Amino acid sequence: MEEKEGDYGAFMEKFELKGATSSNLPLQGLTFAVKDIFDMEGFTTGFGNPDWARTHAPAKSTSPVVLATLNAGATCLGRTVMDEMAYSINGENKHYGTPINPCVPDRVPGGSSSGSAVAVAGKLVDFSLGTDTGGSVRVPAAYCGIFGFRPSHGIISTEKVIPMAQSFDTVGWFARDLQTLKQAGQVLLQLPPETSNQPTRISIPRDCFETLGLPTDKIYQIMNASSEKIYSSELIDNEDLDGYIYKNVPSMQKFISNYQGKEATLPALAAISHAMRLIQRWEFKASHEEWINATKPNFGPGIKERIYEALTANYDDLDLCIAIKAELKSALDNLLENYGLLAIPTVPGPPPKLLMDATVLENFRAKAFSLLSIAGMTGFCQINIPLGMHNNLPVSISLLAKHGSDMFLLSVAQELYATLKEQASIAWGSAS
């Protein structure tokens, strides 16, 4: 990767690939960037690691998602840096450099779609494509103070996208404003427009905000006040999510006792995260073990340990984890009914500082995955909504909706956004 100036280190390579030029195309005049995990004809897909790039030939064809974006009139301005093998939510890459977070330069940008988020946050492109398995769109969106969308699992094609863990892999995207996010979404999702933007229930679980979030950000109060103002207090449900999951996911108790998860503050959510990561490791191993053993690649710190853990883990509980996944989806389908929303913090707090101590970071990651694994294990869609800067740090909230409710979720976000911003200003006072 050549040295870059003025682009926050977001790009692996820059070029201008013009999209279709007929009139009235939905993305005409917009620019975008593509994570280095998508195949594009003539380019080597690097997967965040030079040994991967060295041992793979240039792609012979282009991912359908990238083609759809070009055919809708958008111009591609380059391919972006990512975490190695998509196996991190931090955004640091020892080989290609860590893209600079335009929002808070002394903090990580989030990963693994780090460069794609930074390219949008730094106003280098209008929107960008990333992937999200365990949080790789939602986390960098939250850390960089922009919108990020993880679609319902399986709704958007992952063909010609390098797999990380197929049960959870999704193609997501970033934008600085909701209109662009929705425009890109209409092209990528290929779903009919949503007729309703009226939720029938809004679950704002107190435990997720008070135990896993940062109470000083006041996002629990902001979300409750906004929902009450736009909709009605009768739709709001503040029941704790951890207790609901514990009661309604039958395999949960056995699994918690199997891995001694009782000491977690929210044991059911910690168990969901633990189950997701076990399935993820298993699928990662199935896809990549042969290449890793043959190539013996050079991996950066943190990534190396995580990858070798996947290759050597005990998978005795795999069937139990798969059962929990199905049971959780059923339980949350029942909670949200047809047009329900679930609001949670996207991440447990502000982006960690660059090169943060590994022990502190591990605690933060554990809390983060208790939140992130909800969409992963249910296949639900999730949007990260930036609320602005508080104490000079970005603050976000996430909304989730049932599988297939992607256009409904985008419509509700549009309906709520101005009020969320207004309530954030009130909650934070004029100092923010």
Token pair of 54 as six digits = 């060295």
> Which neighbouring-strand residues pair with 35?
80
Q: Counting runs of H as helices and runs of E as strands, what totals does the chain give?
A: 14, 11
Q: For residues 33 and 15, give the distance between their C-alpha atoms in angstroms, rounded to a whole number.
A: 10
Catalytic residue among 113, 128, 136, 411: 136
Catalytic residue among 35, 160, 325, 402: 35
Question: Count of CB atoms within 10 A of residue 425's CB?
Answer: 14
- Alpha helix locations (H) across 303-405? 303-312, 318-336, 358-378
The phi-psi region of residue 391 (left if phi > 0; otherwise alpha if psi is between -120 and 50; otherwise beta) is left
Name the 3-class secondary structure at 328.
helix
- 28 Cβ neighbours under 8 A, 6+ residues apart: 19, 21, 72, 73, 74
Q: For residues 73 and 21, give the distance between their C-alpha atoms in angstroms, rounded to a whole number.
A: 6
∠ Cα 311 245 208 (to 5°): 90
- Residue 35: active-site member: yes
Q: For residues 185 and 180, give the distance between their C-alpha atoms in angstroms, rounded to a whole number.
A: 8
Q: For residues 55 and 53, give the distance between their C-alpha atoms in angstroms, rounded to a whole number.
A: 6
Q: For residues 383 and 398, give the distance between their C-alpha atoms in angstroms, rounded to a whole number.
A: 5
Name the 3-class secondary structure at 215.
helix
What secondary structure letter does DSSP report for 283?
H
Q: For residues 334 and 303, give the distance between their C-alpha atoms in angstroms, rounded to a whole number.
A: 37
Contact 113, 172 (CB under 8 A): yes
Catalytic residue among 88, 112, 116, 411: 112
- Residue 94: active-site member: no
Catalytic positions: 35, 112, 136
